[in-house]
């Protein structure tokens, strides 16, 4: 089984870039499942019904998210609509009465695959539950479905927390990839217990800025410490970053590789 997972898709330019690159990657990789972090789909922060539908139609099977998923009021429609809520999960360690779900079982061929979304706590803005023990609880909750593979998007600021989580779930998760920082760490490896791991996948967005944002306002903020409005261009140099994980029949990872495509959106 091959899994293709995109890093955070930033705004319209990121959506356009993924739509251009995904057909080629499908031909090259032939993934059985395509995932993407979608918390930045709508103007760089948040999700909307239209952006989810657009990228699902482009070939994304399921969207993970993070702390920015709530930044647009349309999140409620996505999380409660009977069709859309099947396409999106949010971090599982939010309080239980938060809209949406934190994990999902997908059937790939004859096998069940458990996808989990978790939010880190170190340097974070959200007072969420312990992601480590939340993972334990989700494994127990879904044990009766006997998942052949367990995939985790760990959305977090701190590299130390991501690395620690990778070791904590080694041998129990098939793959763990970090998102949120928009910078690929390129430390992809197979841990001793058979878990594919990378600290951060990177992003899909504007390449000549700061984390997908036009650089001038960000520089002005660092120089003056005054608030600025973040701007995301719709054209220009763009990067698409993802990981490809190959899983063996026993659920262990056979390989993990980083994917990067550079293109210019006109």
**Residues with catalytic roles:** 68
Indicate the length of the chain as a whole number. 266
Strand 253-265 vs strand 8-9: parallel, antiparallel, or unpaired? unpaired
- DSSP codes, 164-233: HHHHHHBTTBSEEEEESS-S-----EE-TTS-EEES---EEEESSSBTTB-HHHHHHHHHH---------
User: Which neighbouring-strand residues pair with 111?
Assistant: 108
Residue 214 DSSP code: -
- Cα–Cα distance, 146 to 33 (Å, whole number): 18
Kind and range of the H or E element at 17?
Answer: helix 11-29
The closest alpha carbon to 193, from 248, 127, 141, belongs to 248
């Amino acid at each position: 089984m091959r899994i293709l997972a995109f890093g955070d898709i930033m705004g319209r330019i990121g959506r356009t870039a993924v739509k251009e690159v995904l057909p080629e990657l499908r031909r090259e990789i032939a993934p059985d499942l395509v995932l993407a972090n979608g918390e930045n789909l709508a103007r760089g922060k948040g999700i909307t019904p239209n952006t989810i539908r657009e990228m699902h139609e482009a070939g994304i099977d399921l969207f993970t998210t993070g702390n920015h998923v709530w930044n647009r009021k349309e999140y409620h429609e996505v999380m409660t609509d009977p069709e859309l809520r099947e396409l999106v999960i949010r971090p599982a360690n939010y309080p239980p009465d938060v809209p949406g779900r934190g994990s999902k079982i997908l059937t790939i061929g004859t096998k069940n695959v458990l996808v989990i979304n978790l939010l880190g706590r170190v340097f974070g803005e959200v007072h969420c539950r312990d992601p480590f023990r939340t993972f334990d609880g989700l494994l127990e909750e879904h044990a009766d479905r006997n998942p052949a593979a367990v995939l985790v998007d760990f959305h977090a600021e701190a590299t130390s927390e991501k690395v620690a989580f990778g070791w904590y779930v080694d041998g129990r998760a098939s793959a763990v990839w970090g998102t949120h920082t928009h910078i690929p760490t390129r430390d992809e490896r197979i841990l001793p217990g058979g878990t594919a791991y990378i600290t951060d996948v990177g992003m899909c967005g504007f390449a000549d800025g700061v984390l997908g944002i036009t650089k001038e306002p960000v520089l002005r903020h660092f120089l003056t410490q005054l608030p600025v409005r973040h701007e995301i261009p719709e054209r220009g140099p763009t990067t698409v970053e993802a990981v490809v994980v190959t899983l063996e029949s026993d659920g262990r990872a056979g390989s993990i590789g980083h994917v990067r495509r550079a293109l210019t959106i006109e």
